[in-house]
A = this chain, B = another copy of it.
Amino acid sequence: MRHGPRSRRHHGGHWRVFARVERFTEPALLLLLRERPAHGYDLLERLPELTGEQRVEMGNLYRLLRALEQEGLVVSEWDEGSPGPAKRRYAITAQGRLLLEQWADALRHSQDRTERFLERYEEGR
């Protein structure tokens, strides 16, 4: 096995567990973009505030942004006029806001499930 699993990393003789919500980068991006439009690299730096990870894989981030655009959840355009390398500026759409709302709902349910799990865990200690 070249790589260990992501959610359970070997580290100094024991397993390190990181309980992560599937596809969490997606709602995180949508939330950041709801606050204000931004370009990919900017999002890359602000994502860890939400995901709790050191950094998000940038390759996947750019692919995800393009996928979101194809689904009509965000729109983008090349940001002319600003200095430095060409940037693509992303903004959330109405559909994106709707999906974010559904994510928030799903995350609340997830919170409830996990809360029940933890209570049941504490009971049997």
Contact = CB atoms under 8 A, between A and B. Distances in A.
A102 B21 contact: no
A120 B49 CA distance: 11
Interface string A82-125: 00000000000000001110111111111101111110110010
A109 to B, nearest CB: 7
Contacts of A108: 118
A96 to B, nearest CB: 11
Prevailing SS type, chain A contact patch: helix
A22 interface: yes
Contacts of A104: 118, 121
Given A34-B124, A98-B14, A124-B34, A19 B103 contact: yes
B35 A124 contact: yes
A18 interface: yes
A86 to B, nearest CB: 29
B20 A110 contact: yes
A65 interface: no
- A-B pairs, top 6 by smallest CB distance, nearest first, are A19-B106, A19-B110, A17-B106, A17-B102, A7-B22, A19-B107
